[in-house]
C-alpha cells in the first residue's frame, strides 16, 4: 500500500493559513476572519474548491479577489488545482466575522 495518501486535513490547514494572508482591501482584516470563506473542500486528488462570498455583490474587488484566492491556493506545493466559487447565499453579514475580526474593527 502506498504511503502517499494525501492528508486532506493537513492540506486544509495549509489552505486556511494562506487564506489568512489575503485581506479585504476596504477592511484591515483577512478574508478568513471576515467570514468570507464559507467552505474549503479538498479531494484526494489535491483539487481544492473554495466557496466564498464578498461583502457586497458590487464589491470593488469582485473580479480580482477570487482570482487572488485561486492563484495563492494553486501556489501551495501539494495543490493540483483550485477553483473559487462565489455565492451570495447566504449573503455576508457582520455576524459571520470572527471575534478576532470584530475586535480588530473595534466592534467588541
Among candidates 101, 89, 87, which has minimal Cα distance to 20?
A: 101
pLDDT score of 66: 95
State which CATH number among 3.30.300.130, 3.40.50.2300, 3.10.580.10, 2.130.10.10 fits the domain covering 8-92: 3.30.300.130
Give the domain ranges of the chain: 8-92
Among candidates 42, 40, 18, which has minimal Cα distance to 30?
A: 18
Task: Please state, in angstroms and rounded to a whole number, the distance separating the CA atoms of residues 53 and 64.
Answer: 13
What average pLDDT does range 13-33 have in this prediction? Answer: 93
Band of residue 1 on the pLDDT scale cut at 50, 70, 90: very low
Q: Any idea what DSSP says for residue 30?
A: B
Edge-to-edge strand ranges of the sheet holding 81-86: 37-42, 47-52, 81-86
What values do phi and psi take at 89, rounded to 5?
-125, 105
pLDDT score of 3: 45
Amino acid at each position: 500500500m502506498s504511503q502517499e495518501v494525501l492528508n486532506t486535513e493537513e492540506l486544509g490547514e495549509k489552505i486556511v493559513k494562506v487564506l489568512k494572508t489575503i485581506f479585504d482591501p476596504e477592511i484591515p482584516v483577512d478574508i478568513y476572519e471576515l467570514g468570507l470563506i464559507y467552505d474549503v473542500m479538498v479531494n484526494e486528488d489535491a483539487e481544492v474548491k473554495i466557496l466564498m462570498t464578498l461583502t457586497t455583490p458590487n464589491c470593488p474587488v469582485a473580479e480580482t479577489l477570487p482570482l487572488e484566492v485561486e492563484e495563492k491556493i494553486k501556489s501551495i506545493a501539494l495543490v493540483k488545482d483550485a477553483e473559487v466559487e462565489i455565492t451570495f447565499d447566504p449573503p455576508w453579514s457582520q455576524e459571520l466575522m470572527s471575534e478576532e475580526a470584530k475586535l480588530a474593527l473595534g466592534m467588541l
